[in-house]
Amino acid sequence: MNKVNKNEKDVRYILNHLRQPDKIECMALKGENWKEEVFNEIINTDFECLIGEDDNIPVCMGGVWSTDENNPDIGCIWFLSTDEVVKHKISLLKHIKRELKNYDNKYFMTYNYIHDSNLEARKWLEPLGFVFGNMKGIPKRENQTFFYRINQSMKGLN
């Protein structure tokens, strides 16, 4: 599995070949025009989006960006993939652990929501230190579960 920076061709490929659980989440968040909205958000937002490839074929993409200028040390983390990603679980997990260390240097907390039906994502997130459940002040979303991860080097400070 190789890592490359975001580009329009790879982002479109992944969105056109999304795993069904990821497609359900995108549709729930963005509605009928989800594909174009997600594409534009990824391409037009200034953040590091990493794409995992196998033999020059993109299989996954993800990243973190701060969605609140008043809290730049809190980042929204996300990950989308094709069905091919299951062939690369071990390699991908190593890459993700490395990236989480980089994110720990920039963000106190990373968070997002997953659709309640996306059990596969939960299996990946829990071993990486993400906690599922509500936090005070975080709005609940229908059919979605909030998850977050506190920067491991700051865990004793919260």
**pLDDT reported for residue 35:** 97
- Taking all residues of the chain, what is their mean pLDDT, rounded to a whole number? 88
Handedness of CA 150, 151, 156, 157 (dihedral sign): negative
pLDDT tens digits for range 128-139: 999 998 778 787
User: CA-to-CA distance for 137 and 58, rounded, in angstroms?
Assistant: 37
What average pLDDT does this structure show over 14-24? Answer: 95
Q: How many domains does the chain have?
A: 1
Please give the residue range of the domain that contains residue 102: 2-157
pLDDT higher at 48 or 1: 48
What global pTM score does this model have? Answer: 0.86
pLDDT tens digits for range 34-83: 999 999 999 998 888 889 888 889 999 999 999 888 989 999 999 999 99
**pLDDT reported for residue 158:** 46
Identify the CATH number of the domain in which residue 119 sits.
Answer: 3.40.630.30
pLDDT tens digits for range 97-135: 888 988 988 999 999 999 888 888 888 899 899 999 877
pLDDT beyond 90 at 92 = no
pLDDT higher at 53 or 17: 17
